[in-house]
A and B are shown apart, each in its own frame.
Chain A
Amino acid sequence: TQLLEQSPQFLSIQEGENLTVYCNSSSVFSSLQWYRQEPGEGPVLLVTVVTGGEVKKLKRLTFQFGDARKDSSLHITAAQPGDTGLYLCAGESSGGSYIPTFGRGTSLIVHP
């Protein structure tokens, strides 16, 4: 079973602060996705990274895929209350099933 470990589990910060959350595994993934889930809703896809070392930016969010394709990070600059939510990473193995393995998520609260 491939496991994705996310850290930290919980994060509570003030508006305007920067933060980084991590997604780590001992397995190699052919692609990795990040999702954000708000209370009472389903996860929403933010980004997919495919190439080792790849960096993608989505406004104030920066996503990086590790060189060995075993880990990823999400950095948020100048966090806003609207960034509050559960951030989930999901990795697709190279086995071809296209079913991603999800981490347990980082719960982020940004206080105004």
Chain B
Amino acid sequence: KAGVTQTPRYLIKTRGQQVTLSCSPISGHRSVSWYQQTPGQGLQFLFEYFSETQRNKGNFPGRFSGRQFSNSRSEMNVSTLELGDSALYLCASSLPGSSEQYFGPGTRLTVT
């Protein structure tokens, strides 16, 4: 089975711009979660989508948003980028009823 894929792998943006990241989960996994990872804060939960609905949300500002499509693929969007948004953004998929996360390789976002 193919693993979780994320595109792009690397991204450089300027403050004030917006960015869209994409994630394709493992086939059969309908839950997709997004995390932000920084050296200072570790791995922080952004939100989770299941069957095209946001089911859980972390403590991030409204500039961070996401969506899920009918094929379970997911995108997350960050608007009005700030320097502090520089991080590794990880997508993970899981089976229903399981907390085991299967992560993609991440998108490294640098905001200058």
Contact = CB atoms under 8 A, between A and B. Distances in A.
A16 B52 CA distance: 48
B99 interface: yes
Contacts of A102: 35, 42-43, 45
Contacts of B81: none
A88 B99 contact: no
Interface of B: 4, 31, 33, 35, 42-43, 45, 48, 55-56, 90, 92, 94, 97-106, 108
Contacts of A33: 99-101
A41 B106 CA distance: 7
Interface residues of A, number: 22
A28 B5 CA distance: 33
Given A99-B33, A99-B48, A48 B42 contact: no
Interface of A: 31, 33, 35, 40-45, 48, 88, 90, 92, 97-105
B55 to A, nearest CB: 8
B42 A100 contact: no
Contacts of A45: 100-102
Of A40, A101, A105, which is in contact with the most chain B CB atoms at under 10 Å from its CB?
A40
Nearest to B31: A98
Contacts of A35: 101, 103
